[in-house]
Structure 1
Amino acid sequence: MANISGNKNIESIDYNAIEAMESFNKFVKKKNTFLFSITAVFLTLYILLPILAFQPVLQQKFFGNITGVWVYSAGLFIMTIILCTLYVKKAASFDKAAAAVLAEYHEKGGK
Structure 2
Amino acid sequence: MQRKNLILASLAAAIAFTTPMAANAAPWQNINQRQQQLDRRIDQGVRNGALTRNEATRLRTEFRSLNRLEQQYRRSGGVFTARERADLDRRFDALSARIKIQKHDRQHRR
Report TM bin, short chain: 0.3 to 0.5
TM superposition score normalised by structure 2: 0.39
Between structures 1 and 2, the one with greater strand share: 1
Larger radius of gyration: 1
